Amino acid sequence: MTQLDFKPFDADNHYYEATDAFTRHIDPKMARRCMQWVELGGKQRLLVGGKVNSFIPNPTFDPVSKPGALDQYFRGKVAGADLRTMFGELDPISPAYRDRESRLALMRQQGLDAAFFFPTLGVGMEESLRHDIPALLAAFRAFNRWMDDDWGFAYKDAIYAAPYITLADPQWAVEELEWAIGRGARVVVMRAAPVPQPAGQTRSPGDPVYDPFWARAAEAGVVVAFHSGDAGYGKYLDDWEPSGDFQAFQFSPLRGMTSDRAPFDLFAVLICHGVFSRHPTTRCAIIESGSEWVKPLLKKFKKVYAQSPTSFASDPIEQFRDHVWVAPFYEDDIRGLADAIGTDRILFGSDYPHAEGLADPNSFVNDLHGFNAAEVKAIMRDNAYELIGA
């Protein structure tokens, strides 16, 4: 393990969901419209809305990939082969991936002080239920209660699990946020996507109809984190390259080229539609979406603001810098990101224990080229604590 003279705060850790994560607390009347397990061809398969879901190839997570198995692939140092070869030998699932006491012990061994914890399966489920809003709400209400059971939202001030919020029903979003605040939540997670509406329509998350949610999150100091998953962009890519259902590890050159469109569009929307100007204490984080999209976004803001300054309450670049914390990929130009938004807005995230993350979370420090000791400590620890107001 990488040794540091302080204990870092990892802004991107994951659990692997228990098989009853969506079913333990589900309203029995909604069960068939949400998540169910079935055996097909001798394997456990997940049905979502009555359809086999392919977001995760093995949603039982047992066996599961070794942490960091795809490290060299994502650094662009090895070419991709078939999926099975790339993942290599799988391991039986570790207790630390599903039990908070075991995970806390592992974090201490790794030298971590605290971490944000995000879903693995959960970030791919909203898109699968977007055409059935009541089922979508029921599924994530059940999911959040499972998360509270198994992980807690601020367990021993070390494990900060993020309840999942959808804005598909504005009142539900406020009620769920209020419940999460009452249970100690410091961060919630959403997807970078338009908000699903009945009859297949969508709405901007910056629409004033969602102001009660944004106002309450800002008032409570709750971080709204956007994490990569199924943002529903497959329908746009399918116009160019039809591929069927979204899968977490569906590789193609085109999908790699366009993987950063969702965060670019999201923050363009939040700022252009006035969320940060109406709610000036809002704090957002963007997790596991990389950072190579940030400079092009700021460049575009500069041009649009010069063309129409009265369309914004204030400089959109400064709005982004004031309200958004970014967790870059370890292979990104992190020094360039700091030059664009400031070192104080960068978060360390290892994506542990995912295959595309780091086997040793703290080894992220080895990619912080050109930063002095104070800046390294800020990225690896202090910025995350400042973000949650601790």
pLDDT value, residue 3: 87
Which CATH number characterizes residue 191's domain?
3.20.20.140
What are 254-263's pLDDT values in tens digits? Answer: 777 777 899 9
Cis before 119? omega within 30: no
Phi, psi (degrees; rounded to nearest 5) at 12:
-150, 80
Burial 225-264 (b: 16+ CB within 10 A, else e): bbbbbbbbbbeebeeeeeeeebbbeeeeeebeeebbebbb
Residue 1, in any domain of the structure: no
Give domain status of residue 118, yes or no.
Answer: yes
Is 4 among the domain residues? no
Average pLDDT over residues 91-107: 98
Domain count, the chain: 1
Query: Per the domain annotation, does 172 fall within a domain?
Result: yes
pLDDT tens for each residue of 35-61:
999 999 889 999 999 999 989 989 999
Dist CA 53 CA 128 (whole Å): 8
Mean pLDDT computed over 137-160: 98
At residue 235, does pLDDT exceed 70?
Answer: yes
Q: How distant, in Å, are the alpha carbons of 133, 136, 231 from that of 201?
A: 11, 15, 15
Let me know if residue 321 belongs to a domain. Answer: yes
First vs last C-alpha separation in the chain: 26
Range of the domain at 37: 9-387
Please give the model's pTM, rounded to 2 decimal places.
0.95
Is residue 2 in some structural domain?
A: no
Answer whether residue 259 is part of any domain. yes
Residue 289 lies in a domain: yes
Q: Largest Cα–Cα distance in the chain?
A: 61
* Residue whose entry in the numeric block shows the structure tokens 């085109």: 254
Whether residue 241 has pLDDT greater than 90: no
